[in-house]
Amino acid sequence: MKLATIGVGNAGSKIVDRMLEFESRTDRNLCRHVHAINTARTDLAKPDYIPEDRRLLIGDTNQKAKGHGVGGDVEIGAEVAEGDIDEIRRTFDDVEIHKVDAILVVAGLGGGSGSGGGPVVIDALQEMYDEPVYALGVLPGEYEGGRPALNAARSLQSFVSKVDNFIGFDNDAWRAREQTIEEGYEQMNRELAARLVTLLAAGETDDSDVAENAMDSSDIIRTLDTGGVSSIGYAATPVDDTEEGLLDRWSSDQQQVNRDDGSQATKIKGLVRRAVNSRLTLPGEVSSADRALAVISGPPSEFSRKGIESARQWLEQEADTVEVLVGDDPREDSPRLSAAVLLSNVTEAPRIKEIQNQAVDAQEKIAEQEAVREDEINDLITDDNNDLDPVV
Ligand code: GDP
């Protein structure tokens, strides 16, 4: 698939940057257009791979932002994006839309710029283009507290209702206790990039005739066509690089020997099973998925038609749906065989309910504090018998 990829806010831009890194490291070609949009000048300077001329600072003339971010305020995030909507649209004018299959907007939902600005950006894209617009949204960890949960719970409603599909990533599930938050983010972003790129880059190889069961962009679009909230599972294993293994690969490449034997089939089915049973980007009930799709990526000599068929049957049972596609994505020089599994429209994801509960508590607390704030300030600045008067 060919994508236009847009990171909104800090997390969104960092994740897009890691997607570009993974793409270049694995010689893939997914993101044909890329943009980073942010309200904070310093954050916009962070990416390593997003070209300078693809970074847009918004809200620098807005009194509340002034190029310093929106302080996690989702309302200001939305206001700033709406205020600069013409500039955002002009940025998208560059997108040669006939060269992309879909658009992906990436944002963290717990903050202000991505959470508030993301839905505004999506509205503009939906108005401008007929191609599907997807979102990848990061859900904040419980440890972040009530305000990010409230931002995320509200913003999730806007994202899901506006996009053609929303892929979730749960920071809570991916947090490693022994790491600092920044180290943790760095690792999470790499893991997430590997999943997104392995899945979505399927079909973008130069030698498509090598694959018998090649996945292509229309398969991915069809699977995502359900709308709702989706999740990705992933597993990888090194390709056999012993002398024997290499010899085997050489001979199969040269003589087109079909090594579709039992062990390869077992390996592929096992990989898909491991991907589904691994930590999903958004943990959820696999059997609640509406559709599923698995991409097997690696050297074609490792592929197995029998393996693909048994993986498909297994996935059909596990996801409890007949709408299952399994296909391959040939990467001749890849040192790994990997499986990325998309579970589309998963309707049972406990973390979303937890965030909503945390958000409702936070909203009540904020309302209670606001109700008494005026009285508390008056109490503080007024003497006990109210003998003193203000100067003017
Ligand atoms: P914004 O710039 O105002 O959109 O805010 P940020 O993107 O900095 O943060 C929004 C939310 O994204 C936070 O509440 C975190 O949950 C999450 N977040 C921030 N940075 C990262 C990151 O690098 N990786 C991941 N996975 N999540 C992040």
Would you place residue 203 in the very low, low, confident or very high pLDDT band (cuts 50, 70, 90)?
confident
Asked if 341 and 272 touch (Cβ cutoff 8 Å), the reply is yes
Q: Is 171 annotated as a binding residue?
A: yes
Q: Residue 179 has what pLDDT?
A: 86
Total residue count of the chain as it appears in this document: 392
**What average pLDDT does range 358-362 have in this prediction?**
97
Query: Which is nearest to 164 in space by CA: 215, 198, 125?
Result: 125
| d(C-alpha 288, C-alpha 353), whole Å | 15
Closest atom of ligand 1 to 11 CA is 7
Lowest mean pLDDT among 21-35, 148-162, 242-256, 329-343: 242-256
Would you place residue 255 in the very low, low, confident or very high pLDDT band (cuts 50, 70, 90)?
very low
110: Cβ below 6 Å to ligand 1? yes
Q: Is 113 annotated as a binding residue?
A: yes
Same-domain check for residues 21 and 123: yes
Q: Residue 64 has what pLDDT?
A: 84
Strand partners, 203: none
pLDDT above 90: percentage of residues in the chain: 83
| d(C-alpha 307, C-alpha 302), whole Å | 10
Same-domain check for residues 250 and 195: no
Q: Residue 257 has what pLDDT?
A: 44
Residue bearing the bigger pLDDT, 60 or 243: 60
Domain boundary among 200, 222, 255: 200
Tell me how far the alpha carbon of residue 111 lies from the centroid of ligand 1, in angstroms.
6
| d(C-alpha 137, C-alpha 6), whole Å | 12
Would you place residue 208 in the very low, low, confident or very high pLDDT band (cuts 50, 70, 90)?
low
Backbone angles phi, psi at 247, to 5 degrees: -60, -45
Check pLDDT > 80 for residue 207. no
Would you place residue 259 in the very low, low, confident or very high pLDDT band (cuts 50, 70, 90)?
low
Query: Which is nearest to 331 in space by CA: 222, 218, 197?
Result: 197
Q: At what angle do helices 74-83 and 113-128 cross, to 10 degrees?
A: 40
Within a domain: 355? no
- Please state the ipTM of this predicted complex: 0.99
Same-domain check for residues 108 and 150: yes
Residue bearing the bigger pLDDT, 221 or 99: 221
**What average pLDDT does range 192-218 have in this prediction?**
84
Asked if 86 and 49 touch (Cβ cutoff 8 Å), the reply is no
Same-domain check for residues 189 and 308: no
| d(C-alpha 309, C-alpha 13), whole Å | 38
Within a domain: 150? yes
Q: Residue 205 has what pLDDT?
A: 72
Check pLDDT > 90 for residue 198. yes
* Segment 120-178, tens digit of pLDDT: 999 999 999 999 999 999 999 999 999 999 999 999 999 999 999 999 999 999 998 88
Within a domain: 166? yes
* Segment 272-319, tens digit of pLDDT: 999 999 999 999 999 999 999 999 999 999 999 999 999 999 999 999
Q: Residue 176 has what pLDDT?
A: 87
Secondary structure of 219-279 in HEC code, one letter for each residue: HHHHHHCCCCEEEEEEEEEECCCCHHHHHHHHHHHHHCCCCCCHHHHHHHHHHHHHHHHCC
| Residues with Cβ within 8 Å of residue 327, at least 6 apart in sequence | 202, 211, 213, 214, 215, 216, 219, 293, 294, 295, 296, 308
Q: Containing domain of residue 134, as a range?
A: 3-200
Within a domain: 314? yes
Within a domain: 258? yes
10: Cβ below 6 Å to ligand 1? yes
Would you place residue 209 in the very low, low, confident or very high pLDDT band (cuts 50, 70, 90)?
low
Query: Can you give the CATH number for the domain in which 103 is found?
Result: 3.40.50.1440
Lowest mean pLDDT among 94-98, 168-172, 355-359, 387-391: 94-98
Backbone angles phi, psi at 117, to 5 degrees: -80, -30
Q: Residue 97 has what pLDDT?
A: 84
| Vertex 116: Cα angle to 115 and 121 (nearest 5) | 95
Q: Which of 136, 138, 282, when mutated, tests ligand 1's pocket best, judged by the most ligand atoms within 8 Å of its CB? A: 138
| d(C-alpha 95, C-alpha 74), whole Å | 27
- What end-to-end distance do the CA atoms of the chain give, in Å? 67
* Number of domains forming the structure of the chain: 2
The DSSP call for residue 214 is B
Tell me how far the alpha carbon of residue 108 lies from the centroid of ligand 1, in angstroms.
5
Tokens of 115: 């959470």
| Residues with Cβ within 8 Å of residue 253, at least 6 apart in sequence | 301
| Vertex 293: Cα angle to 290 and 298 (nearest 5) | 165
Q: Residue 204 has what pLDDT?
A: 80
Asked if 101 and 2 touch (Cβ cutoff 8 Å), the reply is yes
Q: What is the DSSP string of 50-96?
A: S-GGGEEE--TTSTTTTTB--TT-HHHHHHHHHHTHHHHHHHHTT--
- Name the strands in the sheet holding 3-8, side by side, starting at the edge strand that comes first in the sequence: 55-57, 31-38, 3-8, 102-108, 133-139, 165-170, 229-238, 336-344, 291-298, 324-330
Within a domain: 11? yes
Query: Can you give the CATH number for the domain in which 279 is found?
Result: 3.30.1330.20
Tell me how far the alpha carbon of residue 303 lies from the centroid of ligand 1, in angstroms.
38
Same-domain check for residues 184 and 253: no
Same-domain check for residues 252 and 186: no
The mean predicted confidence, pLDDT, of the chain is: 92
Q: Is 144 annotated as a binding residue?
A: yes
Same-domain check for residues 286 and 184: no
Same-domain check for residues 257 and 182: no
Spacing of C-alpha 66 from chain mean position? 28
Tokens of 32: 């044909």
Asked if 16 and 50 touch (Cβ cutoff 8 Å), the reply is yes
Q: Residue 254 has what pLDDT?
A: 44
Within a domain: 353? no
3-state class of 168 per DSSP?
Answer: strand
Same-domain check for residues 45 and 171: yes
Within a domain: 377? no
Spacing of C-alpha 69 from chain mean position? 22
155: Cβ below 6 Å to ligand 1? no
Residue nearest to atom 13 of ligand 1 (CA): 110
Same-domain check for residues 268 and 162: no
281: Cβ below 6 Å to ligand 1? no
Tell me how far the alpha carbon of residue 91 lies from the centroid of ligand 1, in angstroms.
23
Same-domain check for residues 271 and 131: no
Check pLDDT > 90 for residue 206. no
pLDDT above 70: percentage of residues in the chain: 93
